[in-house]
Amino acid sequence: MTTDFRTPALDALAKEIIPEEHFTFSAATARDRFFNDTRMLDVKQWVHNAFRTNPTSMIGHMIDHLALTGTEDLLDLGCGNGFILEDLRPHLADGSITGLDIAPAVLQAARQRLHGTATPCTWIEGSADDLSMLGDDTFDRVMANYMIHYVPDLDRCFTGVRRVMRPGGIFQLTTDRTDSMLEMYDAHFAALNAMGAPRDLFKASPKGRLSLTNGADLLGKHFERVHTVTWQDQLRFTSTEPFMRFYEVGHNHCCASSEEDERLTASFFAELRERVQAQVTAAIEARGYFAVTKYTGSFLCQ
């Protein structure tokens, strides 16, 4: 199903609130702070699935474009807790899966999730920009889903992917447009503004490093063909609580709580949550639901 959620109001909102700058997380932050347990991933995966209005799930879209025959050797960079691999695995009944992630806690969750299944699985703790432990021409498919903005050296990562991928293979990199989930950022920035919060908190997202908007150029340096596929979805919340968990735990308050900072006290976050929650509650009362519009997609590289 193709759903176009684009409206003039959303376009205007995008111009107003998309931050010009983005920031870069350190590998240590990803490993030791965000993904030292599966909480953040669990909340996001639950919400993206439970509150979607697109009948095809995010994983359904990914699988459609991987064109699997069942015998491929697949490498998943930043595989997380194996949420995607679990659904993908039956499509590789006679193939193999290698999951690589920088964070041991989520990698262990992936290992447990796929334990005992028929597809041989290998789990590697490491960073996606160092694939030196993997041989040339080893994989038919390589995936990097919603993780590339964390990788310190993108050129080194793509050079490695090119090397480990067999001729005719596909590298699928899935990411968001920078204006994805605008409504959440709008509520967040409105709350920060009302609080007179420090300006550096308005950078908001690391995703501008490589998004659906700018990624094709970067990937084009490493791959002969880069084809972009997109899809849309709208999460609709009729109660504030699941949205607030998505915002607070799943997105670290739109990244405001990503790094320790003495200005960011418990009372700061209490007020921020209260202000965001008030806007979401008002939207639900006015319209019946609070919408979060997603613009996402994949680069298919060969």
Ligand X SMILES: C[S@@+](CC[C@H](N)C(=O)[O-])C[C@H]1O[C@@H](n2cnc3c(N)ncnc32)[C@H](O)[C@@H]1O
Binders of ligand X among residues 48 to 67 (CB under 6 A) are none
Per the CB < 8 A criterion, the answer to whether 204 and 14 are in contact is no
d(CA 203, CA 171): 30
Amino acid letter for position 65:
H
Indicate which single residue of 92, 97, 102, 192 sits in contact with ligand X (rule: CB under 6 A).
Answer: 102
Indicate which single residue of 119, 127, 232, 240 sits in contact with ligand X (rule: CB under 6 A).
Answer: 127
Binders of ligand X among residues 179 to 238 (CB under 6 A) are none
Identity of the residue, 104 or 198, whose beta carbon is nearer to ligand X in the bound complex: 104
Question: At closest approach, how far in Å is the CB of 211 from ligand X?
Answer: 14
What 8-state DSSP symbol labels residue 34?
I
Identity of the residue, 14 or 128, whose beta carbon is nearer to ligand X in the bound complex: 128
Q: In Å, what is the CA distance from 235 to each residue of 2, 129, 182, 295? A: 15, 33, 12, 11
**Would strands 96-101 and 73-77 be described as parallel, antiparallel, or unpaired?**
parallel
Contact code string over 7-46 relative to ligand X, x by CB under 6 A:
--------------------x--x----x-----x-----
Assess 74 for contact with ligand X (CB under 6 A). no
Question: At closest approach, how far in Å is the CB of 18 from ligand X?
Answer: 20
Judged by DSSP in three states, 51 sits in coil
Q: How far apart are the first and last CA of the chain?
A: 26
Contact code string over 131-170 relative to ligand X, x by CB under 6 A:
--------------xxx--xx-------------------
| Strand extents, DSSP E, the chain | 73-77, 96-101, 121-125, 139-145, 165-176, 226-237, 290-301
Question: At closest approach, how far in Å is the CB of 266 from ligand X?
Answer: 26
Assess 258 for contact with ligand X (CB under 6 A). no
Angle at 147 between CA 116 and CA 155, to 5 degrees: 120
Judged by DSSP in three states, 144 sits in strand
Q: CB under 6 A: which stretch of 67-75, 80-88, 132-140, 194-202 binds ligand X?
A: 80-88
Residues near ligand X (CB under 6 A) are 27, 30, 35, 41, 77-80, 83-84, 100-103, 106, 127-128, 145-147, 150-151
